[in-house]
Amino acid sequence: MTLNILFAAGAARWQDYQMPLREGLAEAEIDANLSLDLDPAEVDYIVYAPDSDLQDFTPYTRCKAVLNLWAGVEGITNNATLTQPLARMVDPGLTQGMVEWVTGHVLRHHLDIDYALARQDGTWDRYVPPLASDRPVTILGMGELGAACAQALVGLGFPVTGWSRRGKAVDGVTMLSGDEGLDEALSSAQILVLLLPKTPGTVNLIDAAALSKLPEGAVIVNPGRGPLIDDDALLAALESGHVRHATLDVFRVEPLPADHPYWAHPRVTVTPHIASETRAASAARVVVENIRRGEADEPFLHLVDRDQGY
């Protein structure tokens, strides 16, 4: 039987994804009609991005799963018309990209490269940073991305503490959970990395109270979600010097408005949501594997827990 697979992730992405998806389906020996335009009642699977024009899933009565191309799913989980199984993207390329971005910026702050660049004025100032073993790093959010970043940093010699809502174990990482665990995780974080999803329980998690628990002169690195941080509280902590620097890749409003205080703040680095991106070649393999699983009556990979929101 020929499967009907709707690509509902935008015409621009179609240019990047159609060949990897077609090739992957052929390699998996899946006979499929992959298209941007199909009769909703005849669709078996939807390859999806939350910024798609498709927001009403009611007509897709035959659809077996919605396969998201993004790691983030907060833009779709509250859609009451979405009753089909929803799988988020866990992509090796996306994970590697996040590891590289996080590791790069943690090392940048650890070695105080910004300070060195600012001193290119003829002054021979022999600043010697501590070794990684003396620079505790905390990661909030220990899912696929958080765990991968944590283990990369452990491999470089950093003592890493990880925190998650639900207790789990990650090799080489001191793992904490719950409210008391969060306080402990913050209190040791000379560098704090935020990799939590956006949920009702994580919005404004990093508020004035949380920031006050960080060591004096801590650095914040946020490639997770913009609403994790209370922006006014962070700006106040930066002004007081309690937080030395913030490197931010994600924001409440994107693109970040040109008049936002972050742009001009000397202790803030803005990057334009580039910490990691889904790569078509590797993401297509994940999508195809889930379609294969659906046809073989095997469990889908990376299903979203609607109650948790991710």
- Which residues are CB-neighbours of 107 under 8 A, at least 6 positions away? 113, 156
Domain ranges in the chain are 3-91+278-295, 92-270
Q: Which pLDDT score is estimated for 277?
A: 84
Q: Which pLDDT score is estimated for 172?
A: 97
- Which residues are CB-neighbours of 32 under 8 A, at least 6 positions away? 2, 3, 4, 5, 25, 291
Which DSSP category does 227 fall into? G
Report the side by side order of strands in the sheet with 65-68.
32-35, 3-8, 45-48, 65-68, 86-87
Rounded to the nearest 10 degrees, how much is the dihedral formed by the CA atoms of 73, 227, 149, 165? -80
Predicted structure pTM score: 0.90
CA dist 130 → 106, 133, 184 (Å)? 13, 8, 22
Q: Which pLDDT score is estimated for 210?
A: 98
CATH class of the domain at 3-91+278-295: alpha beta
CA distance 65 to 82: 10
Which CATH number is associated with domain 92-270? 3.40.50.720
Residue 26 token pair: 């052929």
Q: Active-site residue among 22, 273, 292, 302?
A: 273
CA distance 44 to 5: 6
Q: Which pLDDT score is estimated for 307?
A: 78
Q: Active-site residue among 105, 109, 165, 225?
A: 225
Encode the chain (310 residues) as per-residue pLDDT tens digits: 899 999 999 999 999 999 999 999 999 999 999 999 999 999 999 999 999 999 999 999 999 999 999 988 988 998 999 999 999 999 999 999 999 999 999 999 999 999 888 888 888 888 899 999 999 999 999 999 999 999 999 999 999 999 998 888 999 999 999 999 999 999 999 999 999 999 999 999 999 999 999 999 999 999 999 999 999 999 999 999 999 999 999 999 999 999 999 999 999 999 999 998 889 999 999 999 999 999 999 999 999 998 787 8
**273 given a catalytic annotation:** yes
Rg of the chain over Cα atoms, rounded to whole angstroms, equals: 21
Q: Which pLDDT score is estimated for 116?
A: 86
Which DSSP category does 214 fall into? S
**225 given a catalytic annotation:** yes
